Amino acid sequence: MTEEYCLPIRVYVEDTDAGGIVYYANYLKYIERARTELIRTLGYDKPALFNGLLFVVHSVEIKYRKPAVLDDEILATAKLIKVSRTSFTIAQRVLRGGDVLVDAEVKVACIDQETKRPAGIPSDMLQALKAAL
């Protein structure tokens, strides 16, 4: 089973709304960074583009549980939980200490760069993803 990748993040003024609470869309940025770094640990430095293929977010299920606020130290996590021929799914969280602030599940699909239709994940990457499960 893959390890959970943890990315430390500090909350800055630019991340917050007028009330000093992290703006909801910024959590998507945080988990995107953690997801990218998880894929980087598997040896893929440019996961968005791969020889005529693109990796795109197919769907996101997200639950906001508690707010992060200005100057918090938080962790964005990513853990691979499912792999298929054309997609993979990652469970993600944003944490502050022992508190879960956000739970998310993100499905990433492989598509052909020109047609934008589903495509098979390259075999070497597919093997690396399956080995990481």
Distance CA 105, CA 91 (A): 5
Nearest to 54, CA basis, from 122, 104, 3, 6: 122
Residue 37: Cβ-neighbour burial (10 angstroms; 0-12, 13-18, 19+): middle
Q: What are phi and psi of 84, to 5 degrees?
A: -130, 180
Beta pairing, strands 49-50 & 53-64:
antiparallel
> Which CATH architecture group holds 5-132?
Roll (3.10)
Q: What are phi and psi of 129, to 5 degrees?
A: -65, -45
Can 17 be counted among the known catalytic residues?
yes
Catalytic residue among 15, 17, 71, 112: 17
pLDDT at 48 (0 to 100): 66
> What ranges do the domains of the chain cover?
5-132
CA within 13 Å, CB half, 128: 13
Walking along the chain (133 residues) 10 residues at a time, the average pLDDT comes out as 86 95 98 95 79 94 98 98 98 97 98 96 95 92
pLDDT at 3 (0 to 100): 81
The DSSP H or E segment spanning 73 is strand 73-83
pTM: 0.92
